[in-house]
Structure 1
């Protein structure tokens, strides 16, 4: 069994941006696999709130090195994620990948990408830039555009709040109008006027909370990002993990879209697709009210990585599922 080291702080460059993160490398005699963990939406740090540390521990115990980092403008990283594009965030993931590959105790040819939620879009885009990526994992990563995904999440939040069908219809119509405004290049002031005319911020609940000019600009740039062209261009195995009760992501639609992409003519022979849907699990693939990982989630992750890198599988197998 590898020893369990403490994660230590690291810094690396992505263009003109300095990214800060945490690196944990198992105390194994021979070099092992590695994974770069990319967080979800908003100002996510290297721990993605409290979500990443338990996954990091599990991976390290399975003999897999882990690097996660603060998003641009978060924690100790420079820049600002609100000024970024998906391509910029993907470039950061690639920089993290290259950095991890140079660390002692890490096999350069066995380092892949793990993206949670929005991070799924990011790592799929990053994967298209590399011919040497051994694998990619999306964890609650939608196969739809952000606009479609957020509409799905808004509808579920309205239902949870007990909104009447008429009120839900009003909110969705306002949301659709905002998406159209973003496509036309409307500024924040115009969008705010739309919201006021459509019933005020409370009509959209959390979707409009904290909205300002810079956040509006970021969301407008991102809203029509389609991950499927990136999926079509994959040249490595892809593991897609979902919680069956995820209320933020259209899971059934995402599985259908990924399966369709996997059957597309001309698909690269290495671009296999593995989908795991964990019944009753939420957006963080947790059960029991979000208290603990869904049964088999973390073991499925480490075992899949181990099977594709010939490392880490033995520790995962000893723990069982």
Structure 2
């Protein structure tokens, strides 16, 4: 599911702090500004800045925020003697600093949307932008124990050809097999997010345990044809059905034991496919939503604001407004009517003084075919129609699909399915990493891509179910 605390503003939810740039006293000779610099905003977001001086003497800069998957050119960069400054016009943000020779750092202030926080940039190198990913490094270093091949398969109904990787265990088949179905966003076959290749790690583990795996680039992404923009969960469900058909045509696959492993949005898609395909063998739902999208989104926004340090009274005020906006959009079957109804809610909030700074932008963000479909989708009917064995897992620290809200609803929907297993896994976040708080800002900084215990639970259950 989308995380509203990410890929937007750098410190929109940081409490307003009265902070002035730390200026060194006396004459200072700055170190050459060229190269890589690293700092931390509000003790939460790591930022990397690269300054580069061209042959014509003009400076250029790039700012990277790994936790938000953001890489952007800076505007209005000025490097003069012992001072440096730049703007990020699209974010209504900027940075001004002076060189501190004692600290060997640019000591300054990050300003955004009327708020200010200290930001100190210290020299680093390009290598610091590449995080440690030990599970992926281990995969690259060892013999695979399975055969991987590039494959293509068609979704004729959508006139789309999807490209992926099909991994088959060594040994005598046919093998149980799974399709990996992505979470939200323009994701490739590895479901690469925050420099974690989640589906690479999952596929490697499952194929080592005797399970064939198909993972693919979303339509319009990587080597897959089609158009990603404008596609909805229903379109992606159609692509997943095409992936299942592909597996049924493979001699390496035991066709009675084909399943879907869906993460986040993929956990919403898998029951849709299963409810229409009685021949599908089983489902694994990893942080799949159990409640209507508008309810889940309102809770996710509240948890993100809380994680970013917003006071409880601010969180609750925002929750009420977000619930009204989302309910308005979900009440209308047509997107334009949904946008218009949400704007009426915004205008009412403006009149009564409860309008937040981000509310109008949020209406624009939600006014896409994907979001509108998601806000209106109720997972219950597809879950209740699912008769296959189902494994449902959530991390207890998940702040995007909260475990308590999610699992209670799924347990209710699956109460008549005797082959359903529903579990909350302690200390794990939305990506099933071992985490501290579960906040999205932790994803990039955690070396672990998927907790080994979670991998074992999934593979053990699939193998037992296939037997």
Shorter chain as denominator, the TM-score bin is 0.7 to 0.9
Specify every segment of 5 or more residues in structure 1 that has no aligned partner in the other structure, as ranges: 311-321
Residues 259 and 211 of structure 1: CA distance in aligned 2, closer, same or farther (over 3 Å): closer
Distance 1:296 1:165 in 2: 34
For CA contacts below 8 A with separation 6 or more, give which structure has more relative contact order. 1
Residues 177 and 88 of structure 1: CA distance in aligned 2, closer, same or farther (over 3 Å): same
Alignment of 1:167-246 (within 5 A): 167-182=314-329, 183-184=331-332, 185=334, 187=336, 190=340, 197=350, 198-201=355-358, 208=362, 211=365, 216-246=368-398
- Structure having the larger proportion of residues in helix: 1
Distance 1:92 1:7 in 2: 21
- 2:407 is matched with 255
Retained in 2: the 8 A contact 1:28–1:105?
no
Question: Aligned-pair distance for 1:133?
Answer: 1.2
- 1:131 is matched with 278
Retained in 1: the 8 A contact 2:343–2:363?
no
Task: With the length of structure 1 as denominator, give the TM-score of the two structures.
Answer: 0.84
Retained in 1: the 8 A contact 2:291–2:378?
yes
Task: With the length of structure 2 as denominator, give the TM-score of the two structures.
Answer: 0.59
**The 10-residue stretch of structure 1 (104-113 or 253-262) with the greater mean CA deviation from structure 2:** 253-262
**The 10-residue stretch of structure 1 (33-42 or 94-103) with the greater mean CA deviation from structure 2:** 94-103
Matched, 1:28 2:171: yes
Matched, 1:64 2:211: yes
Distance 1:225 1:136 in 2: 19
Retained in 2: the 8 A contact 1:285–1:294?
yes
- 1:142 is matched with 289
Deviations 1:79-116 (A, max 9, x none): 23443343322121111011022223221221110100
Residues 233 and 75 of structure 1: CA distance in aligned 2, closer, same or farther (over 3 Å): same
- 1:42 is matched with 185
Question: Aligned-pair distance for 1:9?
Answer: 1.9
Distance 1:36 1:276 in 2: 21
RMSD over aligned Cα, in angstroms?
2.5
Retained in 2: the 8 A contact 1:3–1:26?
no
Question: Aligned-pair distance for 1:47?
Answer: 1.0
Deviations 1:95-148 (A, max 9, x none): 101102222322122111010001101011000111111111100112112222
Matched, 1:279 2:279: no
Distance 2:346 2:456 in 1: 45
Structure 2 residue aligned with 1:7, among 137, 148, 152?
148
Greater gyration radius? 2
Deviations 1:251-297 (A, max 9, x none): 11222222223334xx5xxx511122210100011104643233521
Residues 23 and 210 of structure 1: CA distance in aligned 2, closer, same or farther (over 3 Å): farther
- Structure having the larger proportion of residues in strand: 2
Retained in 2: the 8 A contact 1:3–1:28?
no
**The 10-residue stretch of structure 1 (86-95 or 38-47) with the greater mean CA deviation from structure 2:** 86-95
- 2:456 is matched with 299
**The 10-residue stretch of structure 1 (226-235 or 74-83) with the greater mean CA deviation from structure 2:** 74-83
Retained in 1: the 8 A contact 2:262–2:285?
yes
Q: Equivalent residue of 1:7, what SS? A: strand
Specify every segment of 5 or more residues in structure 2 that has no aligned partner in the other structure, as ranges: 1-142, 436-441
